[in-house]
Structure 1
Amino acid sequence: MRLFVHHRTEYRFSEPQQRVVQLLRLTPGSHEGQNVVDWHIDVACDARLKRSRDGYGNEVTMLYVDGPIERIGLTVTGEVLTIDRAGLVSGTPEPLPPVFFTQTTALTAPCSAIRDFAHGIEAAGGNALDRIHRLNHALYEYLQFGPRHDSADRTAAETFEAGNGVCRDFAHVFIAAARLIGFPARYVSGHFYRPETEAAEYNSAHGWAEAYVEDYGWIAFDPANDICPHDAYVRVATGLDYRDAAPVSGQRVGGGHELLEIGVRVGLSQTQIQTQS
């Protein structure tokens, strides 16, 4: 599948800022099943961009803007060619061993209820692949998907207690439970093409998880949709949890408050549409 991505981010400040520094995890990498055809980051002000790779192997861009500045507009556009590999992830930069992704973070710390839930998955038996697929489906059945009206980071324990959440929340519970039953697991940020919503803009990118399964390697799971990510997904960044893979993070020097607007649109590229025609 050939997909296009349009990601718009705009910051407005109530007072002029002296300096703004942002870490952008907005650029996907090429690997087996995903080939980046074209990708651009445009900034609607005077800015310096420095590209590099972080400790997780993600392609990152540092954005530096000197003030006074009252508004920053970022536009990310690109095309990615994807192939359905049934969730199997390979050919990605892997600077860290799988065991690194067994450690707990504040967002993925399990509570006693998650421990009981995970141990129930394990007690049902089966091989490793059976157990991790069972976990993905069980979370889809247990949690209700629904938009949240705040952008605060919610822990896996809070999500499990509430019984609902957004894709990011589902992924954190999956990661917490997977690590409990012996699977290294990590968070993934990216995009998900839904044909039924192609004309709409959404205020967030998609998030899912990956678990390391012996004899298979890393496998992607999306408990919010009860599937293994396929060719409708664009994988961008990974980390121990959302904070390590968030599309944009940073700091500013200046008073006042900021207003953030984000719009993401994912669809078929014109080349794909013409081929289908």
Structure 2
Amino acid sequence: MILTVHHVTRYSYDAPVRGLVQSHRLTPASHAGQRVIDWSVQVSNGIRGGCFRDGAGDMFESWSVTGPVTEVEVSVMGRVETSDQLGVLRGHREMVDPTCYLRDTPLTHPGGTIRALAAEAQGREPLQVAHHLAARVAEEIVWTPGATEAGTTATEALARGKGVCQDHAHTLIAAARHAGMPARYIAGYMVADGTQDAAHAWAEVFVAGLGWVGFDAANRCCPDDRYIRLASGFDAQDAAPIRGSARGGGGEVLDVTVAVHQAQQ
């Protein structure tokens, strides 16, 4: 199907900033499951810098804004043709050895409850292990907006039993890594009614003989043609589509709107 994306991120400052620099991973790469038809990223009063594809196959682009400014808007619009690959990432160009994704981060360090969850999957085939862990994470963490924060760890989310897609992804990643399977965080988009206040996230687990397979524990499924894959990383902080810093100024207010719809064909 063809999906349309309109994603706006607005930064407001209570005092003018002298300028800011940002690194974006806001342009999806084409692979077997998605083909970019047209795509545009614009930054208000922004100066576009360099662009490159990193070792994980993600597209990076730098931007800078010269102040003084009190508001900066990052606007993303585009169309992507998607197809259902049963969750398997095919045709994605990358050079990173999957085993590097066995490394823990503070957000994905496995506490005792996560280690116990991973132990339940012992004795199964690798793909069965990944499916089992995704199902268990979905059972243990109830989708509850506002129940966690950006810095909530996988162990904390599992203990609370509530969270959002970031928490589902972090917990599945932590459990899979503890079970000896490389796993990474994916930021992207998913078709939804109306508008959302954030992009979507899920996990990919590396299955020997098959490759990277996506698991969206929050929605109890593997990514299909309703999804657009945007960026990857060890955790949500590492895979953030926008990273940057501002010089000077005071408090910052962030407002995000995301609309992803199926286009009329």
Output the CA distance in 1 between the equivalents of 2:254 and 2:229. 23
- 2:224 — aligned with what? 230
What TM-score do you get using the length of structure 2 for normalisation? 0.96
Name the amino acid aligned to 2:165. C
Secondary structure of the equivalent of 2:77?
strand
- Structure 2 unpaired stretches of 5+: none
- 1:60 — aligned with what? 60
| Structure with greater helix percent | 1
C-alpha contact (below 8 Å) 2:147/2:163 kept by paired residues: no
Residue 150 of structure 1 and its aligned partner are, at CA, apart by 6.6
Aligned length: 265
Secondary structure of the equivalent of 2:228?
strand
Instruction: Establish whether residue 120 from structure 1 lines up as the match of residue 120 from structure 2.
Output: yes
Output the CA distance in 2 between the equivalents of 1:59 and 1:13. 28
C-alpha contact (below 8 Å) 1:48/1:65 kept by paired residues: no
- 1:257 — aligned with what? 251
1:206 to 200, 205, 209: 200
- Structure 1 unpaired stretches of 5+: none
1:228-267, CA deviations, whole angstroms, 9 ceiling, x for partnerless residues?
1000000000011111111211111113111111100000
C-alpha contact (below 8 Å) 2:108/2:235 kept by paired residues: yes
Name the amino acid aligned to 1:47. I
Secondary structure of the equivalent of 2:155?
helix
- 2:35 — aligned with what? 35
Output the CA distance in 1 between the equivalents of 2:149 and 2:21. 20
Secondary structure of the equivalent of 2:261?
strand
Output the CA distance in 2 between the equivalents of 1:139 and 1:16. 43
- 1:184 — aligned with what? 182
Greater alpha carbon shift after TM alignment, 175-184 vs 89-98: 89-98
Output the CA distance in 2 between the equivalents of 1:252 and 1:40. 23
Residue 54 of structure 1 and its aligned partner are, at CA, apart by 3.1
Q: Relative to structure 1, is the Cα distance of residues 244 and 55 closer, same or farther in structure 2, using a 3 angstrom cutoff?
A: farther
1:94-123, CA deviations, whole angstroms, 9 ceiling, x for partnerless residues?
22101000010111000011101110122x
Output the CA distance in 2 between the equivalents of 1:236 and 1:41. 13
Superposed CA RMSD in Å reads 1.3
Secondary structure of the equivalent of 2:116?
helix
Equivalent pairs: percent with the same residue?
40
Secondary structure of the equivalent of 1:93?
coil
- 1:155 — aligned with what? 153
Residue 78 of structure 1 and its aligned partner are, at CA, apart by 0.3
What TM-score do you get using the length of structure 1 for normalisation? 0.92
Greater alpha carbon shift after TM alignment, 108-117 vs 46-55: 46-55
- 2:19 — aligned with what? 19
Residue 139 of structure 1 and its aligned partner are, at CA, apart by 1.1
- 1:129 — aligned with what? 127
